[in-house]
A and B are shown apart, each in its own frame.
Chain A
Amino acid sequence: MTIEFELNGKAVTYSGDPDTPLLWALRDDFGLKGTKYGCGVAQCGACTVHVDGMNRRACVAPVSSMEGRSVTSIEGLTGAVAEAVQGAWVALNVPQCGYCQSGQIMSAIGLLGLIEDPSDADIDAAMAGNICRCVTYGRIRSAILQAAQKVKA
């Protein structure tokens, strides 16, 4: 059984165990190490990617469920929103250990794709599933708000 899907804009085929979580397929089969393992049970958000443009936790998505879909990992980000978000992350010195930040960034971009100008409550709700043990939340919030302003301008 092979699974065909689009990954960061390119058609790919996966021929390993179809039950493999997308997380490990991305990391170990496609060599995309930006997506991280943090919990394996959709509790921490470190593995967040976009599937058909929506936030998705790759640790609980079997690669078989990606058939025909379009997957974007942090390595495949393009566009003004992604640029603004990642720029704000660097400008505000958001990362500490940095391990959760791929997931945080993917979640933030997913949010801004749906709400251009999020309120604090929108950010709280959207980011509730992304844990940062260094607790950079204050700066993550500021970076999302800054990125939203930049995209709007």
Chain B
Amino acid sequence: MRPWINRRVITTTAFVLAGAFAYINLDYSIAYSLGGKMVDRHEERLRGPEAFSDIPDNAERSEALFREMGKVIESPRCMNCHPKADSPTQREGRPHTPPVTRGVGGMGAEGLQCSTCHGEENVTFTNGEGSIPGHPAWHLAPATMAWQGSSLKGICEQLRDPERNGDRSLDELVEHNSEDTLVGWAWTPGVGREPAPGTQELFGALTRAWVDSGAVCPGTAG
């Protein structure tokens, strides 16, 4: 259920734990205590486009690039707000609490908008046990762009389809993945959340390389 948690991280976390953190049960100490300091390790976990340059076949390389992009796309930081259902998930994919709903434009229900709780920046809880995410445009991806429950191949095909990718050309998709600051939140998710692997820059470069290599989806190359 939490494939990205490995024993190494737990050990490191335990080392960081002290004082009030000692209250937290194991599951939560993992979720709560991983901060930005872990980024170096996650960078290692996402390879850049050059790592795939030795794949001679264009389509195969394109596929491999997308699989690498998938490490980001399928991270909880991205998936949580691309739900098929009416409500997002949180943490490592469990139901969002309080039980919010999509509302108009993915901004939340009238009276309980995303902005009722989420401000423009992440805010660390006073108890030090985590944070609430923030971004000026914090909202849910539209239902047409839902990823939860889809295979990576399905998501890939969706990303190529302007009807289901927010009406973006492939070039615009590269720009979105490289520069959109809400996408970028995935790498600075605040205290208590593991960032998406790598960096947004790397993710953007992978997207560029994938598009340049024909934007082939996994399982479709020869």
State if A and B touch, Cβ cutoff 8 Å.
yes
Spell out A's residues near B (CB within 8 Å): 21, 40-43, 45, 48, 54-57, 60-62, 65, 107-108, 110-111, 114-115, 118, 122, 125-129
The residues in B between 88 and 106 inclusive whose CB is less than 8 angstroms from any CB of A are 97-101, 103
Q: Which of B49-57, B113-121, B169-177, B180-188 is found at the contact surface with chain A?
A: B113-121
Number of residues from B at the complex interface, CB < 8 A: 23
Question: How far, in Å, is A78 (CB) from chain B's closest CB?
Answer: 19
B143: interface (CB < 8 Å)? no
| Residue in B110, B120, B132 whose beta carbon sits within 8 Å of that of A42 in the complex | B132
CB atoms of A41 and B130 under 8 A apart: yes
Main secondary structure of the interface of A (DSSP, over half): mixed
Q: Which residues of B contact A108 (CB under 8 A)?
A: 111
Question: How far, in Å, is A130 (CB) from chain B's closest CB?
Answer: 8
Tell me the total A-B contact number using a CB cutoff of 8 A: 77
Question: How far, in Å, is B24 (CB) from chain A's closest CB?
Answer: 13
Q: Which residues of B contact A57 (CB under 8 A)?
A: 116-117
Known contacts A42-B117, A42-B132, A129-B98: does B110 contact A122 (CB below 8 Å)?
yes
| Residue in B110, B126, B127 whose beta carbon sits within 8 Å of that of A111 in the complex | B110
Known contacts A125-B101, A128-B98: does B125 contact A60 (CB below 8 Å)?
yes
| Residue in B98, B110, B121, B127 whose beta carbon sits within 8 Å of that of A43 in the complex | B98
In the complex, A67 Cα to B93 Cα: how many Å?
Answer: 34
B137: interface (CB < 8 Å)? no
Spell out B's residues near A (CB within 8 Å): 97-101, 103, 109-113, 115-117, 119-121, 123, 125-127, 130, 132
Q: Which residues of A contact B115 (CB under 8 A)?
A: 54, 56
Q: Which residues of B contact A41 (CB under 8 A)?
A: 125, 127, 130, 132
Q: Which residues of A contact B100 (CB under 8 A)?
A: 125, 128-129
Q: Which residues of A contact B125 (CB under 8 A)?
A: 40-41, 60
CB atoms of B117 and A129 under 8 A apart: yes
Q: Which residues of B contact A43 (CB under 8 A)?
A: 97-98
Q: Provide a sorted-by-A list of 12 A–B residue pairs whose CB atoms are within 8 angstroms.
A: A41-B125, A41-B130, A43-B98, A56-B115, A56-B116, A60-B119, A60-B125, A62-B119, A62-B123, A107-B112, A111-B110, A125-B103
Question: How far, in Å, is B159 (CB) from chain A's closest CB?
Answer: 30
CB atoms of A55 and B120 under 8 A apart: no
| Residue in B97, B101, B112 whose beta carbon sits within 8 Å of that of A55 in the complex | B112
In the complex, A125 Cα to B120 Cα: how many Å?
Answer: 22
CB atoms of A127 and B112 under 8 A apart: yes
* B99, B116, B126: residue with the most chain A Cβ atoms closer than 10 Å: B116
Q: Which residues of B contact A54 (CB under 8 A)?
A: 113, 115-116
In the complex, A41 Cα to B191 Cα: how many Å?
Answer: 13
Known contacts A60-B123, A60-B125: does B110 contact A128 (CB below 8 Å)?
no
Q: Which residues of A contact B111 (CB under 8 A)?
A: 55, 107-108, 110-111, 114-115, 122, 125-127
CB atoms of A40 and B113 under 8 A apart: no
Question: How far, in Å, is B95 (CB) from chain A's closest CB?
Answer: 12
* A45, A110, A115, A128: residue with the most chain B Cβ atoms closer than 10 Å: A128
Q: Which residues of B contact A45 (CB under 8 A)?
A: 98
